[in-house]
Chain A
């Protein structure tokens, strides 16, 4: 912890960390110094002059160095000559700050009057009106009248698209540079900038596409006026009409906290609809930022093609039916199949859904044939042992600490983690990046290794070996091992880029063993706060799926089962050879993803979904489920933080929550009556059946505490329009290593996936087309196009040029891709991007179309 100094703000004495600015320090005792350009997450610039205050320091006798005292014995204060900007002045011991004097008031009036000389005052048509810092501070500190001639106001362009996502209103901008500084300092995408000077200054972008950043939406939150608005929300509603509903991002393993702003409106047929997604502060998870994906993906919930009624196959076609018929049919078919029935789930549904799903199979049918429909990355059993310890916060990592990232492009796969890892590196943490190709993280890496294709596992094994021997070898791997073992704290991320499931298992276990290597003080890097392993899961609740036992060999809470069931791969082959006759698919589209070739020899297929997916089209019964926006539940993020989301809109059609549908089927099969609420599934099922969740309930997960910086309160001007967290910071479950030593893992042998003449791997893109994102029209121009990235030398050899249409055959599937040369691919490795998942290093055939 940094040293504390004592200061006095308007006579209130307080202790604050050295280095804090006067504005931020005053906030701790609820003294609000108004600001426009200052933002607690950005470096101070002192541009707007709104925060002018009087600052005094105790005087010292120059000769003796002793404090000079007044007659009454109090220190004599030197108030300096003028006002100072509270956002740039750092606190010092004994400092006095006056924020309510006449001279300060006058300065504020002047700054407001000055700002308004160039501001249009079109509040009645401005999206920010009602939650506008300039509006609020004008009401609080403005004069109400101006010496300025209104005819001389600036008249600038009002609807300037900075790309497809963000619009700029040039005359509303007050030139605070929050947006450009955010893009520069936080997002590392300096694609917007100031152009010209003085009153002619404007925000511009030249990137292609315009304002090319995954974080652009955040600039609209921190913009203190209505200059920046999103294409998605602008002119959509007034802020005061919106009802905020706390939720969790339905995408990505980081579990970003969000607020859904909802409104009931006539133009949507009287329905309550989601008008926008905003960040909700959780300094432990996403601070006050969300990616544009999280912000704009919500449209699937209100999509016109949502399933509204149960469907049943009659005479070869799917026709609408009633719930009772559908549920009875499914129950009878499942019961007839008994322990041979198989179940596949996606990793998006809630813990409640997933728990109910495995219970239906394990208890109702005595079947362990359940798995994730698309298992990409192993290691839930490993992170349960040595996962990042509870109480950790990536925000605390810095000097002396090491972060390791292996086989993951965090910027595309988990942008919030990318942001936090990058910031930790900027705070001084050593960043070790191991990958087969360059990624956006490389530029922040202290140690960077691009291992040869197929040698991810070998490289990590080498690293583990070096750490265990610790002979001070001076090669790069030796140095990395030394840095890791000697670090104060170590957090290791691992992903699955270019790896098979089996390889990720080896990766997880090798890294787990690496973290367990003890340093000279006898400390290892597991079981301690701010230490441990994090899997870069592909979806928002992959962690929950592991915890809930969506696994053929692991029951809830990672308890082994005596007779493991079929894995997903075995289920798919069983579907083809007829050994699997009855299959239940929840929230997944194995046919559409190319994992399952039609319905094969299935006798009965039931699909529970939001949309009529390719799998649903060949099903016998289709059950319409509710999206996350229509109900409550919990997701568990990759740091094992269990977080609640709340219902925001009414159910679409007759759709029901997944857990409820499953429990109703179970009830027809003789299991318990369905619970009345998701909270009871959690309490009676999960907390009772999953040991790691035994100390949790919906109340404990919903606990909040005061967070700093104090963003999202009434004073929007301070931190922007991100919402205060009133609905829960979540609860991390404790890894085994926290309550005692865990054994070293036995690392299995694995044959790296074979590589042909030109090995190909699939790389992730944040905007990869998929069932949910495809429903967000606003993101469609940004969608990753199916692309083959080639190095110039390889392209020459294959006689392929940028823009050529190529066909790549992968695992029996033909992908139509557009070639891109000299992009991201290193020599000797081709990358495919913008297509659904394919595991490992692919022996792909590349042909020009």
Chain B
């Protein structure tokens, strides 16, 4: 239960908003829920709704609106690769194919070790540095096969060292709430 596990964080988040506007804390609460459950599971949605006293439909609605809330389980490291026009011109489609092949998964699938999934996303605003990807909010640019291999090795190593789910945005929220 989020309420118990993150009691302090939740309390401090809610304290930022006036009594009748507590629902404003929804995005941050959803990040915490996603950190806990890996994605916005039914449980996650219901718990967030319960904390805010709203219908879970509201949480579902926001989950669907923002691309950084995941509705299906994802790997610990989500490789979000843009292949909009500019990126595609710089070989993003081929890059995605290569990445899928290397990891042995299709788009939106999770690697058997649970570490990676690949998502095809819309423009991330780094057209001049394509092919590029975003991994747990961190940009990796001017990529090629070699750099991709290094990246994967890097994350594998981090995971082996016991990297707690690398949802850095959540950590940021949690750090902020401690101040």
Contacts and interface: CB of A to CB of B under 8 A. Distances in A.
Q: Do A and B bind each other?
A: yes
Most chain B CB within a 10 A radius of its CB, from A189, A194, A206:
A206
Interface stretch (B52-60, B133-141, B156-164): B52-60
A191 B49 CA distance: 12
Nearest to B59: A206
B61 A195 contact: yes
B56 A197 contact: no
Interface string A187-207: 001111111110000001111
A641 B63 CA distance: 48
A219 to B, nearest CB: 14
Given A204-B60, A206-B45, A194 B65 contact: yes
A193 B54 contact: no
A597 B63 CA distance: 57
A194 B61 contact: yes
A207 B65 contact: no
A189 B55 CA distance: 8
Interface in A167-198: 189-197
A53 B55 CA distance: 38
Most chain A CB within a 10 A radius of its CB, from B54, B63, B64:
B64
B55 A195 contact: no
Interface in A666-692: none
A190 to B, nearest CB: 6
Interface of B is mostly: helix
Nearest to B67: A197
Nearest to B54: A190
A190 B56 CA distance: 10
A196 B65 contact: yes
Contacts of A192: 57
A701 to B, nearest CB: 41
B57 A190 contact: yes
Interface residues of B, number: 12
A50 B78 CA distance: 40
B64 A207 contact: no
Contacts of B60: 193, 195, 204, 206
Contacts of A193: 57-58, 60-61
Nearest to B62: A193
A190 B55 contact: yes
A189 B57 CA distance: 11
Interface in A770-810: none
A840 B3 CA distance: 39
B55 A197 contact: no
Most chain A CB within a 10 A radius of its CB, from B45, B57, B61:
B57
Nearest to A210: B57
A331 B55 CA distance: 59
Contact of A197 (B54, B57, B65): B65
Nearest to A212: B55
B64 A196 contact: yes
B64 A206 contact: no
A197 B65 CA distance: 6
A12 B60 CA distance: 47
Nearest to B49: A206
Contacts of A207: 55-57
A177 to B, nearest CB: 11
A425 B89 CA distance: 58
B39 to A, nearest CB: 15
Nearest to B61: A193
Nearest to B20: A443
Contacts of B56: 206-207
Contacts of A190: 54-55, 57-58
Nearest to B60: A206
Contacts of B63: 195
Interface in B97-132: none
Contacts of B45: 206
B57 A204 contact: yes
Contacts of A206: 45, 55-57, 59-60
B15 to A, nearest CB: 21
Contacts of B58: 190, 193
B147 to A, nearest CB: 32
Nearest to B55: A191
A195 B54 contact: no
B70 to A, nearest CB: 13
Nearest to A196: B64
A605 to B, nearest CB: 50
A206 B54 CA distance: 11
B64 A205 contact: no
Nearest to A193: B61
Contacts of B61: 193-195, 204
A207 B65 CA distance: 19
A205 B57 contact: yes
Interface in A506-527: none
A200 to B, nearest CB: 8
Contacts of A189: 55
A725 B76 CA distance: 61
Most chain A CB within a 10 A radius of its CB, from B45, B55, B63:
B55
A191 B54 CA distance: 9
A207 B60 CA distance: 11
Interface string A27-43: 00000000000000000
A382 B64 CA distance: 55
Interface string A458-473: 0000000000000000
B33 to A, nearest CB: 14
Interface in A121-156: none
A366 B59 CA distance: 66
B103 to A, nearest CB: 26
Most chain A CB within a 10 A radius of its CB, from B54, B59, B61, B63:
B61
Contacts of B55: 189-191, 206-207
Interface string A401-445: 000000000000000000000000000000000000000000000
Interface string A204-222: 1111000000000000000
A195 B58 CA distance: 9
Nearest to B65: A197
A180 to B, nearest CB: 8
Nearest to B64: A195
Interface string B34-75: 000000000001000000001111111101110000000000
Nearest to A204: B60
A191 B65 contact: no
A212 to B, nearest CB: 8
Contacts of B59: 206
Given A190-B55, A196-B64, A206-B60, 17 more contacts: A190-B58, A192-B57, A193-B60, A194-B64, A194-B65, A195-B60, A195-B61, A195-B65, A196-B65, A197-B64, A204-B64, A206-B45, A206-B56, A206-B59, A207-B55, A207-B56, A207-B57
13 contacts: A189-B55, A193-B58, A195-B63, A195-B65, A196-B64, A204-B57, A204-B61, A205-B57, A206-B45, A206-B55, A206-B59, A207-B55, A207-B57
Interface of B: 45, 54-61, 63-65
Counting from the closest, the 10 A-B pairs by CB-CB distance are A193-B61, A195-B64, A206-B56, A196-B64, A206-B57, A193-B57, A191-B55, A206-B60, A191-B57, A205-B57
